[in-house]
Amino acid sequence: MGDFGGGIANASGETEIDSTTVSGNTAGQGGGGLATNGGHLTVKTSTVSNNTVDGTCCPGFESDGGGVLGFFGAFTLASVTVSNNTVIGNGVGGFGGGVANLQASSTMSSVTITGNTATDNMGGGGHGGGVANKGTVDVSSTRIDSNKVTGNKPTGGGFLNANGAASLSGSPVTNNSAVGAGAKGGGVFRVSGTVNLASSPVTGNVPDQCGTPSTVPGC
């Protein structure tokens, strides 16, 4: 186990992963399965599942990306399943149970993001059970389903846009949940930045779809 990239860590290089399963790994702060920092990571026709960020590193800092973490640089997920990953915060918050994009440029195409969890065991909240974005992300033909956030004031059971720009096209956000005191945005929650939904229904999420009142235009 390391602080970043429990399974695979890409530091400022070019890495391509194809037809691979990344499963059962743990990181202390970010990228339980995969992490990239300043380089370009491409993952195709693969599965990232059952990985964990346990929050044991670096008190006072958030935990990010139970499955995949992009920190600066760029990453691409194509025909990938991201499932049953968990990020656990240490009081500052756990962001992106499945995928966390921190100041990176990312593309997700034909991805299934399901069964992921973001939480915090020390009084904070989980944010972005499926995806947490703080950069630029383009999501197409992707399913974000049955992810959850828990803890204190959790947000974005399916998708959180903390800042930056997110575009979802042909990508339904369904059956996700935000559970805990002050929970908001069971489907999609926007703190700041922009979220554009095109042919991407947000339905069946609890306690609401995109916050009350909605934080996302067209939701």
Residues 86-119 have pLDDT tens digits of 999 998 999 999 999 999 999 999 999 999 999 9
Is residue 21 left, alpha or beta, with left meaning phi > 0 and alpha meaning psi from -120 to 50?
A: beta
Is residue 214 included in any domain, yes or no?
A: no
Is residue 158 included in any domain, yes or no?
A: yes
What pLDDT was estimated at residue 1? 42
Q: Which ranges of 21-133 does DSSP label H, i.e. alpha helix?
A: none
What pLDDT was estimated at residue 59? 81
Question: 111: which DSSP letter?
Answer: -
The total of structural domains in the chain comes to 1
Is residue 215 included in any domain, yes or no?
A: no
State which residues form the domain around 159.
2-203
Counting as low any pLDDT under 70, the low residues of the chain are 1-2
What pLDDT was estimated at residue 2? 56
Is residue 189 included in any domain, yes or no?
A: yes
Is residue 119 included in any domain, yes or no?
A: yes
- Interatomic CA distance for residues 56 and 49, integer angstroms: 20
Is residue 196 included in any domain, yes or no?
A: yes
What pLDDT was estimated at residue 116? 98
Backbone angles phi, psi at 62, to 5 degrees: -70, 160
Q: In this structure, are residues 114 and 139 in contact, taking their beta carbons and an 8 Å threshold? A: no
What pLDDT was estimated at residue 122? 86
Is residue 218 included in any domain, yes or no?
A: no
Is residue 103 included in any domain, yes or no?
A: yes
pTM assigned to the model:
0.96
- Interatomic CA distance for residues 158 and 172, integer angstroms: 10
